[in-house]
Amino acid sequence: MAFLLLGFLVALFLVGDNTDGFERPVSFTIIRISSFYNHSWVQNLGSGWLDELETHRWNTNSNSIEYLQPWSRGNFSSKEFADMEKLFHLHFVSFTREVQKNVNKYQYEYPFVLQVAIGCELQSEETSVGFAREAYQGTDLLSLENNSWLPSPQGGRRAQIVCRQYDLYKLLKETVHKLMSDICPRLTLGLLDAGKEDLQRQLKPEAWLSSGSSPGPGRLLLVCRVSGFHPKPVLVTWMRGNQEQPGTERSDVLPNADGTWYLRVTLEVTAGEAAGLSCRVQHSSLGDQDIILHWEHQNSIVFILLAVILVLALLAGLVFWLRKLW
């Protein structure tokens, strides 16, 4: 699995309705991105994600954890977070030195980026599965499984060399294992409990139709926009009757400033094919009451608006003509 830069969000599962009965797995992931520009210039970035929500960020200036949500401390004490800050700072320093010392041995070439994801997936309050993965330049390099570093097939000989070297560092393996199996599950449960109200809020989407830029003569780009919904998972489809239309294009689900989400779904058709099409929006906040917008209604609204504008223009012209007579 390749990791992108800090904006990368690990593909994770949804938060269940409560922490007493998990309906789906819940993941917490610590992401570290180290950019090695040359032998003396390195930039380290770190963040923590509860599913697709960023909850923590590493401040490289103060070597401290920033809490991005009001409930980001979960049920951890100040001392526990202080200990974690010391651990992360030591890890950043030692990891950077180790990589710089072994650049040639690892077959790394400046400039390069190393991406690491360490975390756990909670399947219940008692059951969790830890994971630790590292990538080089966005390509899988290695992972920790059954307390052993395993090279990724995509990593080739480089991955095998790095794994052999990592196996020499007992403290590194112990630290990663502690994060995966102890710290991560306890922190995740605390976050789910402290942030329950925020994480479980249900906000209904708003949806509207419009035409996009014409893709060509005699063709239409139908646009269905959906915004203001929470949580993030949503299904938006262009339909003809009960059949989903092929050729539907979906944008990424993007965040709004208020913490809700936005999505744009388009369908290119000929002008004669638009009749009978509809956009269907399915979201947990709607229950079984899907939003269905019919394209014919959109056209009717456009015609009504045009008619109103025409009438107002005629009235304005009549008033102007009468004033000239007076």
In tens, the pLDDT along 141-162 reads 999 998 899 999 999 999 999 9
Residues 217 and 309 in one domain: yes
Rounded CA-CA distance 29/180 in Å is 9
Q: Say if residue 15's pLDDT is above 80.
A: no
Residues 34 and 183 in one domain: yes
Domain assignment present for residue 152? The answer is yes
Residue 117 phi, psi dihedral angles, 5° rounding = -125, 120
Tell me: the pLDDT tens digits for 172-207?
A: 999 999 999 999 999 999 999 999 999 999 999 999
Rounded CA-CA distance 62/260 in Å is 31
CA distances from 184 to 4, 49, 76, 231 (A): 22, 11, 11, 23
Residues 189 and 214 in one domain: no
Its sign, for the CA torsion 228, 55, 119, 47, is positive
Domain assignment present for residue 13? The answer is no
> Which residues, including other chains, have CB under 8 Å from residue 34's CB and lie 6 or more apart?
42, 43, 44, 45, 95, 96, 99, 113, 114, 115, 116
Residues 74 and 127 in one domain: yes
Q: Token match 């904006």: residue?
A: 7
Mean predicted lDDT score pLDDT of the chain: 87
249 with 265: CB under 8 angstroms?
yes
Q: Give the chain's domain count.
A: 2
Residues 162 and 266 in one domain: no
Domain assignment present for residue 264? The answer is yes
Instruction: Give the DSSP H or E segment for 237.
Output: strand 235-240
Residues 221 and 187 in one domain: no
Query: 225: which strand partners?
Result: 208, 264
Query: 264: which strand partners?
Result: 225
Residue from 172, 133, 169, 129 nearest 150 by CA: 133
The confidence score (pLDDT) of residue 24 equals 75
User: What is the CATH classification number for the domain harbouring 67?
Assistant: 3.30.500.10
The confidence score (pLDDT) of residue 224 equals 97
- Binned at pLDDT 50, 70 and 90, residue 137 comes out as very high
Domain assignment present for residue 258? The answer is yes
The confidence score (pLDDT) of residue 318 equals 64
pTM comes to 0.74
Residues 138 and 213 in one domain: no
Tell me: the pLDDT tens digits for 29-57?
A: 999 999 999 999 999 999 999 998 999 99
* CA angle, 42 then 44 then 45, to 5°: 150
- Binned at pLDDT 50, 70 and 90, residue 252 comes out as very high
Domain assignment present for residue 52? The answer is yes
Q: Which of these three, 199, 226, 242, is where a domain ends?
A: 199
How much of the chain exceeds pLDDT 90, in percent?
74
Residue 289 belongs to domain spanning: 206-325
- Binned at pLDDT 50, 70 and 90, residue 3 comes out as very low
102 with 96: CB under 8 angstroms?
no
Residues 120 and 214 in one domain: no
Q: Which DSSP letter does residue 179 get?
A: I
Q: Token match 């070597």: residue?
A: 63
- Binned at pLDDT 50, 70 and 90, residue 296 comes out as confident
- Binned at pLDDT 50, 70 and 90, residue 319 comes out as low
Q: Say if residue 285's pLDDT is above 60.
A: yes
- The size of the chain, in residues, is 326
Q: Which of these three, 199, 225, 246, is where a domain ends?
A: 199
Tell me: the pLDDT tens digits for 64-108?
A: 999 999 999 999 999 999 999 999 999 899 999 999 999 999 999
- Binned at pLDDT 50, 70 and 90, residue 306 comes out as very low
* Gyration radius of the chain's alpha carbons: 27
CA distances from 152 to 35, 160, 302 (A): 21, 8, 56
Residues 93 and 151 in one domain: yes
The confidence score (pLDDT) of residue 12 equals 29
Tokens describing residue 8? 């990368």
Q: Which of these three, 199, 229, 259, is where a domain ends?
A: 199
111 upstream amide cis, omega within 30 of 0 = yes
